[in-house]
Amino acid sequence: MSLRRLIGNLLTQRRIIPILAVAAGLLPACTAFGIEGKLDLTTPPHPPDVSGSFTGGTSAGGAGAIYSTIDTHPTGTGVFDPFLTYQNKGVEEGYNYSPTGQGGNGQGYLDTKRVDQWTHDLFVSDLKVVTLDGQKGTFYAFELDANETGNGNINRLLSIDDIRIYTSHSDTANSLVGDNADLVDKLGTLRYAQNASLGVTANWVLIDASKKADGGSTSGSGSSDMILYVPTSLFPTTGANAVLPSDFLYFYTINGVHDGAAEGSLGNAGFEEWRAVTGFVPDGGSTLLLLGSALTALGFLAGRRGFADHA
């Protein structure tokens, strides 16, 4: 085992604590957003936190998804232990899977890279259940290390234009979807989506890969940038669409759609990496909350009319 991997394992073991404290102070929902459902995480407030809700995302039956800035050190391949790695100049997209009949660290479906070492299958049983102080229910957490250019360069920005999470009893990635982005919805039962339908990016998040919660700066691999908390209530364990611990979990995302080079939010640098949280979730220090509302067709069509305030 390499020294780098050993250090990462030790850090993970030290962080096994069941509760993550998140500040409870909230401002009106609209303060987090610009036009068309934009959630701007590039200028974290110090304090209080800001929360809001997309009008077109899906989180039926739960408190909603929470998007937050976070600083985790160290990260980087070998320590961060991603299940999804992807890279492309401009718009980039991918989902996790393990290849059938091939191996190595090469190009995968869509823009995924390094399959099947750092892009591979993930199972529901792999996920850690976490609780957040001040929030009802429990969550699964997914952490992003965006390896974009550092402080002072406009390319440090990255738009997270959609996230869609599916579960399946079987390996649908290789049997039904493959390299066709139009077939992503065939990955399985949709459990969470940032937008109303595949190919729609009205709800999007802007992050600054150079920002640290303490006001400092960083760049590239070595510091995580965003964490997504998804309510476990979206993964029911009973009923017709019950989730099994052995189910495949597919995590699809697309980045770099909005504003492009004008805002610098295209993918421009190294690999983007996602990992599932399986231990303690560290508090990034300055947390921005996105409390996703229920997905309905009406809600999506009304996306320009306003945002729902939380009580």
Confidence of residue 282 (pLDDT cuts 50, 70, 90): very low
Buried b (16+ CB within 10 A) or exposed e, 9-27: eebeeeeeeeebebeeebb
pTM of the predicted structure, to 2 decimals: 0.74
Q: pLDDT (tens digit, 9 = 90+) per residue, 175-227?
A: 999 999 999 999 999 999 888 889 988 888 888 877 655 444 445 555 678 88
Q: pLDDT (tens digit, 9 = 90+) per residue, 31-69?
A: 333 345 788 887 655 433 444 445 445 544 344 788 888
Q: How far apart are the first and last CA of the chain?
A: 50
How much is the mean pLDDT over the chain?
70
Q: Is the pLDDT of residue 6 over 60?
A: no
Residue reference for tokens 């983007």: 272
Q: pLDDT (tens digit, 9 = 90+) per residue, 109-136?
A: 999 998 887 899 999 999 999 998 888 8
β-sheet with 272-276: strand ranges across: 66-69, 226-231, 139-146, 272-276, 84-86
Q: Is the pLDDT of residue 232 over 80?
A: yes
